[in-house]
Homo-oligomer: A and B are copies of this chain.
Amino acid sequence: MLGVVLDGDVVIDAWERPTPTGSIADDGRAVLEQLTALLGDVLASRPGAEAATIGVGLPGMLGADGVLLAAPNLLSAQGAAIAPRLEEAFGRRVVLANDADCAAIAEAAVGVARMHDDVLLVTLGTGIGGGIIAGGRLLRGGRGYAGEIGHVVIDPGGPQCPCGARGCWEQFASGTALGRLARDAARAGRLAAVLDEAGGDVDAVRGEQVTRAAAAGDAEALVLVEEVAWWLARGLANLVAVLDPTMIVLGGGLATHGELLVDPVRRLLPGMLEGGRSRPGIEVVLAELGPRAGAVGAALLGRGEQ
């Protein structure tokens, strides 16, 4: 986890702590311990800032009540009342938001989307996270759970998703999805170069290896990336139908070799939209702020900018 101090729009100081990865629910104890230590470091560095609100971004479904309702990537803290307990520990206001929401706030305020009021930020990693800026403001939803875009079902007969549904978008267009496609391909005797890199072990094949191979021009890897890009575009078109953003920002691990995904999405998306090519174009770009986007957005949130 990352803590930052902003001066204006610029990160002038940053601290890092390991994110607890335990899967046994401990009512958030391990996560709160790290968060408290991290925030302690941040606050100790700014003795004049007694009254400042703290902004925190966390992965998962964060309610407006500061409780982490569901958090597949922070399992030990699932169900924990994070915000109230941090407020108690620090004696000041603490505002929480989903980390993709924070990244969207940051990209819209000081990043690639700063000229846009209607932005969809999509983080492509293990799953798909989303942050939505609508009319210049973060779309939070009634309980704070908006933007769970990875769980739009795009094929009810598709693979089982850990969320309980079948055929969620993130089962088709995430790093996990690319890894599954790659293992299927390797098992079927294709993707020799990638399989070599994985030491000949099909089960060790990961999405990262495929994007790396595709970036190096491996034709079989490119086919798989193109398939994931088609699903990515299809899911983005769904969200455009609902939200009508003027810019889509792609971030996360799967977007590391950015143009590999961005190019096919730019090519495919216009033809998938209602109103077709007579509809004004939607910019599809890569995130600009990198791994610090979430922390910067949380700091902006703490400053009351959303």
Min CB distance A270 to B, Å, is: 11
Residues in B with CB closer than 8 Å to A146 are: 134, 242-244
A274 part of interface (Cβ distance < 8 Å): yes
Min CB distance A217 to B, Å, is: 29
For the complex, give the distance between the alpha carbons of A70 and B275 in Å: 6
A107 part of interface (Cβ distance < 8 Å): no
For the complex, give the distance between the alpha carbons of A165 and B271 in Å: 9
Q: Cβ of A242 and Cβ of B142 under 8 Å apart?
A: no
Q: Cβ of B143 and Cβ of A61 under 8 Å apart?
A: no
Count the A residues whose beta carbon is within 8 Å of the partner chain — how many? 51
Partner of A140, one of B135, B143, B156, B271: B135
The residue in chain B whose Cβ has the minimal distance to the Cβ of A279 is B69
Residues in B with CB closer than 8 Å to A271 are: 164
Give 1 or 0 for each of A35-72: 1 = CB within 8 Å of chain B CB: 00000000000000000000000000100000001100
Q: Cβ of B132 and Cβ of A165 under 8 Å apart?
A: no
For the complex, give the distance between the alpha carbons of A152 and B141 in Å: 19
